[in-house]
Amino acid sequence: MAACTLAPEPVNSEQVKIRIAGDLHAMFGEQVPVTAPLSLADALARALRYNLEQRVKLTELRLEENLFDLSFNELLPRVTASTGPVQRNPKNTSISADKNWDIEQTTTWNILDFGVSYFRARQAGNRILVAAEHRRKVVQSLIQDVRSAFWRAGRARQLDQDLAVLRKEHKEARAILTETHKEDLRSPIELYEIEKNLLDSLRELQLLHREVLAAPAELAGLMALPPGQNFELALPGPDEPASVLPDRATLPDRGALENLALRRRPELLEEDYQARITADETRAEISHILPGLELTASINNTYNTALTWASLAGRLTTTLGNLISLPKTLEVGEVKQEAGRVRRFALSMSILTQTDIAYQRLQTAYDELGEAVRLSEVADQLYVHTLAAHRAGLVNRLELVRRKSDNILFRTRREFAQNEVHAAVGTLLASIGIDPPLPENYSTLDLTGLAQSLAPYVYLQDFRRWPELDLTSPVKTS
């Protein structure tokens, strides 16, 4: 008994090492290395090609396609063949009592099984469409996340430089303040007020920096870059098209966006396919209950007697207990369909709310950007005039450092306001279910070709010209 006992064998350290090495090679080994600064289109192309969650959904889609192909085999008649020795009693047959070798080929077709298999195949086909909508959702969320992380990562790099400059300026200013305190040339209250303003500006910049500190790592994760790999971003200049935000005047009205969301969101289309699957599930259950007709045809041959015969049979079968459950099966099917409808209503309400919130967020982001731009322009002018006055000997060094700190701070706020508009645009696109304009063969394109196909989507400034933004009349609520 001891020799037949099976004991679980834990994974050893060597197996773990082999698994880790294989996983890391599969995750990062086939990637094209980063050799140049990445634009937003480049980052999106890498995310679409290498992001692991997107690859999971692609694999699930392929699995559903294979299961669909496999389901067609269930529609075919069952064909069996058997052979073997047979010993017959000579009292009951004219064949000798010697051992004979029989060969039998049988074809069976059950109409009931065919009906069930037909509905199962239809369900498998609709599951392909469900998997495709899952993938659409992942791609839309991925595009939204990459857009947001790219601009925040760019601001993080810029803030690193600004903070380094500002810390150097503040160190010099503190030395001047210390010397002024010793010489008692100005009121202590005035000096402490200056120092407080400098520290407030520095602290606010540090808090803003903390908000985007993890953005480069987030972007690297979305692109599935190996941890710790350095990369640079190709941020557009202020006059380049990529940095220009979509024109607010071209933003469609809220009702048109809500209508589009109800037509385009993957979750609602998935519910449409799930309703089909549920209906076919009920039909398959009914097929199980109904009487089934089985047709069988066979050819038999006894090898050493040259005796051959054929048979054809038909059989009608049913289970009375199943017939009794037919009304309840129909009722269960209706309840499932009703549950799906109510679930779709709740999902539609949630999507309308998301679209409304995204629309309001974008409007607010545009308002805040306008204010931030004006404040930054004022801070720029104050710094320019203060610098000129300092050179003329009319303003001391402390005042110049304070104006420079304000200038950097308000410029950073303006850039963060621009980031918020970029993020709000991405959220709005995701809320209405807009897909990037990917070519059908995008999975076979290299990264450069994929980035080029995405560039119009990334750099377009007119909402009305965005791909798939097919706007019709607003949703009727009455």
Q: Is the whole-model pTM more than 0.75?
A: yes
d(CA 220, CA 238): 25
For residue 369, the model assigns a pLDDT of: 92
Residue 316 lies in a domain: no
Residue 150 is assigned to a structural domain of this protein: yes
pLDDT over 90 at 134, yes or no: no
Q: What is the CATH number of the domain that holds 251?
A: 1.20.1600.10
Residue whose C-alpha is closest to residue 248's, from 425, 456, 417, 427: 425
**What is the pLDDT confidence band of residue 59, given thresholds at 50, 70 and 90?**
confident
The total of other beta-carbon atoms located within 10 Å of residue 374's CB is 12
The answer as to whether 236 is a domain residue is: yes
Domain-embedded: residue 26: no
What is the chain's mean pLDDT, rounded? Answer: 79
Residue 376 in domain: yes
Q: What is the pLDDT of residues 402-419, one digit of tens each?
A: 888 888 889 989 989 988
Could you tell me which residues come within 8 angstroms of residue 125 by beta carbon, excluding any fewer than 6 positions away? 68
The SS3 call for residue 305 is coil
Number of H helices, E strands in the chain: 12, 4
How does residue 63 score in pLDDT terms, banded at 50, 70 and 90? confident
DSSP-derived letter for residue 233 is B
- Domain extent for 248: 43-75+138-291+331-465
Q: What is the pLDDT of residue 379?
A: 92
The answer to the question of residue 426 being in a domain is yes
User: Is the Cβ–Cβ distance between 66 and 113 less than 8 Å?
Assistant: no
The answer to whether position 227 is within a domain reads yes
User: What does the pLDDT look like over 353-385, one tens digit per residue?
Assistant: 999 999 999 999 999 999 999 999 999 999 999
User: What pLDDT, in 10s, does the model give residues 184-200?
Assistant: 667 788 778 888 888 88
Is residue 134 a contact partner of residue 266, using CB atoms and an 8 Å limit?
yes
Whether 23 maps to a domain, the answer reads no
The count of structural domains within the chain is 1
